[in-house]
């Protein structure tokens, strides 16, 4: 038997890598983890956590305004962007300490630096080598930028979290969840926001009613969405920047943010040299157990480009650790993974979209739009949308979708029901909690007329 320095060597100390390292160590393995940046990875340092802290900070603008409808007289208010960023950074420092302590308490060796695979069992870090029986790639992803003139002037979500000053105008290129979340943050804090998308609508891949509802709500907040547009170039001006679109239109702005996708962090790791197969997007190809084309090299999280969500990376990392060092192999179940978009208003979803469900057979759709009780007094023009997609043959609920306050919190609970195969009849038999928005999911009774099944003669 070959002798290695470690049983498991993890490259990347993000959520997936740290979870895999911790569980493997608890199962008796000798583990090391390599990190070239801050412990905690994208979610903790550059993604979910700092972004949502900014969302909370931004939402106070509407909360203060809404308070007037409830009898509160609020005097002069002021917002300090730098104070919010400083408070956010202080919390990130605390969380990095927590993650580092988790590794230390579980006797996981933390090796700072950037790793390169010298062979399938050996990595090099700053001239030193380490060997391991098993290697786990958990290096995540990184914002990608197009090759256009002036793109060096653009920022990404990484830089947007630490801007020295709040821009008065910002153009955001892209229509995914990162784009709409930052659009909501900057608009609530007073910036003029323009979103530029190549597609016909925001949030590709989400349910169409979700996409339409959020687009409508963003328009109410004076966020301008330029559909089916392509950026040709970015030019620095005396004050700000000029973004030229295909067709000649220009947008004058103080900052340009690109949120057009993230690429797997697989460059300069030596993966291909040791036989690890990558797909056309640079992601590590893995099987159901997160094993790569090299038997003892695994990969989890965004670097595999499966479902790029932190809880998925954590579950994948735990499954790898238990597969290698536990009593039996374990595969992560990627079906019915709930997700959220912390837009304003936020989105929660679990299961199939209406379009995906139709590909499987006949369905029934239940949908409701209503003004939340809170806004009957606040006067805010904001609607909530909830939707159930149900398999007609089995009555099983295939998808739950919501746009509105607390949507992520509500959908997390419904995800348990969808994962368990709940039927519409079981939803109907559940007593709602009144008055809440969540109760609407168990009081939907009227099916939406199915446009897909209108007889041809009637359609004429």
What's the pLDDT at 452? 67
Spatial separation of the C-alpha atoms in residues 186 and 112, rounded to whole Å: 35
Q: For 155-168, what is each residue's pLDDT tens digit?
A: 999 999 999 999 99
What's the pLDDT at 458? 43
Angle between helices 15-26 and 81-105 (to 10 degrees): 20
Whether 34 and 120 map to the same domain: the answer is yes
Range of the domain at 197: 151-260
What's the pLDDT at 315? 98
Whether 233 and 276 map to the same domain: the answer is no
333, part of any domain: no
Q: Is 401 among the residues known to form the active site? A: no
Total number of domains constituting the chain: 3
Whether 256 and 267 map to the same domain: the answer is no
Whether 137 and 11 map to the same domain: the answer is yes
Instruction: Find the angle CA(412)-CA(386)-CA(198) to the nearest 5 degrees.
Output: 95
Q: Is the pTM of this model over 0.85?
A: yes
**Would you say residue 456 has pLDDT above 70?**
no
Whether 67 and 130 map to the same domain: the answer is yes
**Would you say residue 242 has pLDDT above 80?**
yes
Q: Rounded mean pLDDT of 343-356?
A: 98
- Last residue within a domain, chosen from 260, 283, 308: 260
Q: Rounded mean pLDDT of 48-65?
A: 97
Residue among 335, 305, 299, 292 nearest 317 (CA)? 299
**Would you say residue 127 has pLDDT above 80?**
yes
Whether 312 and 373 map to the same domain: the answer is no
Q: For 92-105, what is each residue's pLDDT tens digit?
A: 999 999 999 999 99
Q: Which residue among the candidates 59, 134, 334, 434 is catalytic per the annotation? A: 434
396, part of any domain: yes
Residue among 63, 105, 64, 60 nearest 87 (CA)? 60
> Is residue 126 very low, low, confident or very high in pLDDT (cuts 50, 70, 90)?
confident
Q: Rg for the chain (alpha carbons), in Å?
A: 24
HSE of 60, CA atoms in CB hemisphere, 13 A:
12
What's the pLDDT at 363? 98
Q: Rounded mean pLDDT of 35-45?
A: 94
Whether 15 and 94 map to the same domain: the answer is yes
> Is residue 129 very low, low, confident or very high in pLDDT (cuts 50, 70, 90)?
very high
What's the pLDDT at 460? 37
455, part of any domain: no
Query: What CATH number has the domain bearing residue 205?
Result: 3.50.50.60
**Would you say residue 383 has pLDDT above 80?**
yes
Spatial separation of the C-alpha atoms in residues 299 and 238, rounded to whole Å: 46
Q: Rounded mean pLDDT of 403-426?
A: 98
**Do 175 and 210 contact (CB within 8 A), yes or no?**
no
Would you say how long the chain is, in residues?
A: 460
330, part of any domain: no
167, part of any domain: yes
N-term to C-term CA, the chain: 76
- How many angstroms separate the Cα of 312 from the Cα of each of 19, 150, 309, 458? 11, 36, 5, 46
158: phi then psi, degrees, rounded to nearest 5: -60, -50
What's the pLDDT at 450? 81
**Do 112 and 266 contact (CB within 8 A), yes or no?**
no
Q: For 310-332, what is each residue's pLDDT tens digit?
A: 999 999 999 999 999 999 999 99
Decide the pairing of beta strands 122-125 and 116-119.
antiparallel
Annotate 270-315 with three-state secondary structure. CCHHHCCCECCCCCECCCCCCECCCCCEEECHHHHCCCCCHHHHHH
Residues 6+ apart with CB under 8 A from 198: 228, 229, 230
What's the pLDDT at 103? 97
Spatial separation of the C-alpha atoms in residues 95 and 38, rounded to whole Å: 10
Whether 204 and 348 map to the same domain: the answer is no
111: phi then psi, degrees, rounded to nearest 5: -115, 110
Q: For 138-147, what is each residue's pLDDT tens digit?
A: 999 999 999 9
331, part of any domain: no
């Amino acid at each position: 038997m070959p002798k290695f320095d470690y049983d498991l060597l993890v490259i990347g100390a993000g959520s997936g890598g740290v979870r895999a390292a911790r569980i493997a160590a608890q199962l008796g393995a000798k583990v090391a983890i390599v990190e070239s940046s801050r412990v905690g990875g994208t979610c903790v340092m550059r993604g979910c956590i700092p972004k949502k802290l900014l969302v909370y900070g931004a939402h106070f603008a509407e909360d203060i305004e809404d308070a007037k409808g409830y009898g509160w007289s609020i005097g002069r208010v002021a917002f300090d962007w730098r104070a919010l960023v400083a408070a956010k950074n202080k919390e990130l420092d605390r969380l990095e300490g927590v993650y580092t302590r988790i590794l230390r308490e579980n006797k996981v060796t933390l090796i700072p630096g950037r790793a390169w695979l010298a062979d399938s069992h050996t990595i090099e870090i700053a001239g030193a080598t380490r060997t391991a029986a098993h290697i786990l790639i958990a290096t995540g992803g990184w914002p990608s930028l197009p090759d256009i003139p002036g793109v060096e002037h653009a920022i990404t979500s990484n830089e947007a979290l630490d801007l020295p000053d709040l821009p008065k105008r910002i153009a955001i290129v892209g229509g995914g969840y990162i784009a709409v979340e930052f659009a909501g943050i900057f608009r609530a804090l007073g910036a003029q926001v323009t979103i530029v998308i190549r597609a016909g609508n925001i949030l590709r891949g989400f349910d169409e009613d979700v996409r339409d509802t959020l687009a409508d709500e963003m328009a109410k907040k004076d966020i301008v969405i330029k559909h089916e547009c392509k950026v040709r170039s970015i030019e620095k001006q005396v004050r700000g920047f000029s973004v030229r679109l295909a067709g000649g239109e220009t947008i004058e702005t103080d900052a340009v943010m690109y949120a057009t996708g993230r690429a797997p962090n697989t460059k300069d790791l030596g993966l291909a040299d040791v036989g690890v197969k990558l797909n056309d997007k640079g992601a590590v190809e893995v099987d159901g157990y997160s094993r790569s084309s090299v038997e003892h090299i695994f990969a989890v999280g965004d670097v595999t480009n499966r479902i790029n969500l932190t809880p998925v990376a954590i579950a994948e990392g735990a499954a790898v650790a238990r597969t290698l060092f536990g009593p039996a192999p374990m595969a992560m179940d990627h079906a019915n993974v709930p997700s959220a978009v912390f837009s304003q208003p936020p989105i929660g979803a679990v299961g199939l979209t209406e379009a995906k469900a139709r590909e499987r057979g006949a369905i029934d759709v239940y949908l409701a739009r209503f003004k939340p009780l809170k806004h009957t007094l606040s006067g805010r023009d904001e609607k909530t949308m909830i939707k159930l997609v149900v398999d007609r043959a089995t009555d099983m609920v295939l998808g739950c979708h919501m746009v509105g306050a607390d949507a992520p919190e509500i959908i997390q609970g419904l995800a348990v029901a969808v994962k368990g195969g709940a039927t519409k009849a079981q939803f109907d038999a559940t007593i709602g909690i009144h008055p809440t928005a969540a109760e609407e999911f168990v009081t939907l009774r009227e099916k939406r007329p199915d446009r897909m099944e209108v007889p041809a003669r009637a359609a004429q």
